[in-house]
Amino acid sequence: PRAESIVQSTVRAHFQSDPTVAPGILRMHFHDCFVLGCDGSILIEGSDAERTAIPNRNLKGFDVIEDAKTQIEAICPGVVSCADILALAARDSVVATRGLTWSVPTGRRDGRVSRAADAGDLPAFFDSVDIQKRKFLTKGLNTQDLVALT
């Protein structure tokens, strides 16, 4: 519960100084989940990590996640995964923009693998509808999911 309140207050503080972090974090969470599952692998730094892939280069909000992680590590080191922090921050970003809230189950394990090439699975704005439908289908998602998430 303390970790959730830290993430919430961190998102709120960053949102107040820069409202564009809210959609940025939500998009980052989508990119993370779409590539290798919601494992936080988008947060891994490295010269050939997901974070460096073209679709991810302009994502906003990495500083928010790092800020929350630093605060959480100070009170309970090694307990809360970056994947959980990102999922909580995505929810709290929606709430910050006066959207609905939902409960976020925790207990995710952080991914250890992050490759820029894997981000090629992300739907691109220039993909045809058929290509986007195919990309979503490979993730077990349907056309309704495509419409809701893009």
Mind listing the pLDDT tens digit for each residue in 27-63? Answer: 999 999 999 999 999 999 999 999 999 999 999 999 9
Mind listing the pLDDT tens digit for each residue in 57-110? Answer: 999 999 999 999 999 999 999 999 999 999 999 999 999 999 999 999 999 999
| 9 labeled binding residue | no
pTM: 0.92
Q: Which fold has domain 2-121?
A: Peroxidase; domain 1 (1.10.520)
| 37 labeled binding residue | yes
Catalytic residues: 31
Would you list the domain boundaries of the chain?
2-121
Asked if 50 and 29 count as a contact pair (C-beta separation under 8 A), the reply is: no
| 45 labeled binding residue | no
